[in-house]
């Protein structure tokens, strides 16, 4: 696996989990770190996927074990810093207002369009979220329990059939960019009824 990709995704997933309002933009840049290793000729695509899987599993473990002691304080510190910078620059006094004013989640945000999905004959297999993955969504959906967050991961997961999907315990199929900033609708029983992702609907905050 690519160590550079592992490092990039370790930080990218952590940042996207702490600032889910900008998860698609953060994950777009993160994906380029892996892609650049291929462009430079120092890694094969499977090496990049391996790095992404390893970083996802690392985050799942860390968010599961260190959520209250490390993740929450770090997130609070980061978000408070961003709000103070936004206020100092005249972009608003909340992160949601700042993101809207700077268009960071829209036309002023960051995207890439070179990703090329490849369908295979093994598509359609059911997705089961790996242990710890739902914990990375705890700050994005603080009012939802683990089963509900697992339902979000399932609704936004990549299709089966891509390389390493069977041997990565589900980590390869997680789409962090979509899972971390979706609009979730619950039914009257508290089950996840609908998950709308940022590419399907304009989300604010």
SS (H, E, C) 58-80: HHHHHHHHHHHHHHHHHHHHHHH
What is the pLDDT, as a whole number, of residue 202?
Answer: 61
pLDDT class of 86 with cuts at 50, 70, 90: very high
Bridge partners of 195?
184
Of 46, 57, 29, 28, nearest to 174 by C-alpha is: 57
Contacts by 195-201, CB closer than 8 A, 24 or more apart: 195/151, 195/152, 195/155, 195/156, 197/156, 198/23, 198/24, 198/105, 199/24
- Residue pair 168/128 in contact (Cβ under 8 Å)? The answer is no
54: phi then psi, degrees, rounded to nearest 5: -60, -45
What is the pLDDT, as a whole number, of residue 204?
Answer: 54
Q: How many residues does the chain have?
A: 205
Least confident range of 10-14, 108-112, 128-132, 140-144: 108-112
- pLDDT tens, 22-47? 998 999 899 999 999 999 999 999 99
Helix residue spans in the chain (DSSP H): 3-18, 23-39, 45-66, 72-88, 95-102, 146-156, 176-179
Spatial separation of the C-alpha atoms in residues 78 and 13, rounded to whole Å: 15
pLDDT class of 167 with cuts at 50, 70, 90: confident
CB 83: neighbour CB atoms within 10 A?
Answer: 18
- The whole-model pTM stands at 0.79
Spatial separation of the C-alpha atoms in residues 178 and 191, rounded to whole Å: 19
pLDDT class of 120 with cuts at 50, 70, 90: very low
Q: With H, G, I as helix, E, B as strand and everything else as coil, classify residue 17.
A: helix
């Amino acid at each position: 696996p690519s160590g550079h990709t592992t490092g990039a995704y370790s930080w990218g997933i952590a940042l996207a989990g702490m600032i889910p309002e900008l998860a698609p933009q953060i994950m777009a840049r993160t994906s380029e770190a892996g892609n650049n290793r291929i462009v430079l000729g120092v890694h094969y695509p499977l090496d990049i996927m391996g790095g992404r899987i390893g970083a996802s599993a690392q985050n799942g473990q860390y968010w599961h074990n260190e959520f209250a002691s490390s993740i929450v304080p770090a997130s609070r510190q980061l978000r408070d810093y961003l709000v103070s910078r936004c206020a100092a620059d005249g972009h608003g006094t909340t992160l949601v207002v700042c993101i809207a004013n700077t268009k960071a989640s829209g036309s002023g945000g960051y995207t890439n369009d070179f990703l090329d999905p490849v369908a295979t004959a093994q598509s359609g297999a059911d997705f089961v979220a790996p242990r710890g993955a739902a914990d990375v969504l705890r700050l994005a959906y603080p009012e939802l329990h683990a089963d509900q967050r697992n339902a979000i991961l399932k609704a936004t997961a990549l299709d089966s059939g891509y390389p390493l999907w069977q041997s990565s315990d589900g980590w390869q199929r997680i789409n962090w960019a979509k899972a971390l900033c979706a609009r979730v609708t619950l039914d009257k029983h508290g089950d996840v009824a609908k998950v709308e992702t940022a590419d399907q609907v304009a989300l604010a905050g």
